């Protein structure tokens, strides 16, 4: 399945995932670790082990840690 997500501060990305992909798989597909981001769906955090819902339009990946 093809999922579009907004990586906050970096813009929108489209990723190809399997039908059974979790939000942890989505995080890895955009190049991050689940330890440095949280995924928001419709403005609410979702668990990393939840299966991705391709019908959701508002998926955001928010970095929690930035280098300094």
Q: Is the pLDDT of residue 42 over 80?
A: yes
Q: Burial code of 15-38, b = ≥16 C-beta within 10 A, e = fewer?
A: bebeeebbbbbbbebbebebeebb
Q: Alpha helices of 1-68 — where are they, by DSSP H?
A: 23-29
Q: Is the pLDDT of residue 67 over 70?
A: no
The reported pLDDT for the residue numbered 30 is 96
CA distance 60 to 49: 16
In which domain, by residue range, is 45 found?
2-63
Does residue 40 lie within any of the structural domains?
A: yes
Does residue 59 lie within any of the structural domains?
A: yes
Does residue 68 lie within any of the structural domains?
A: no
φ, ψ for residue 26 (rounded to 5)?
A: -65, -45
Does residue 43 lie within any of the structural domains?
A: yes
CATH of the domain at 24: 3.10.20.30
Q: Write out pLDDT tens, residues 3-39.
A: 999 999 999 999 999 999 999 999 999 999 999 999 9
The reported pLDDT for the residue numbered 54 is 80
Domain count, the chain: 1
The DSSP letter of residue 17 is -
């Amino acid at each position: 399945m093809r999922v579009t997500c907004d990586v906050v501060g970096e813009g929108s990305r489209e990723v190809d995932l399997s039908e059974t992909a979790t939000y942890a798989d989505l995080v890895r597909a955009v190049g991050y670790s689940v330890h440095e981001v949280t995924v928001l769906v419709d403005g609410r955090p979702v668990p990393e082990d939840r299966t991705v819902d391709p019908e959701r339009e508002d998926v955001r990946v928010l970095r929690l840690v930035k280098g300094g």
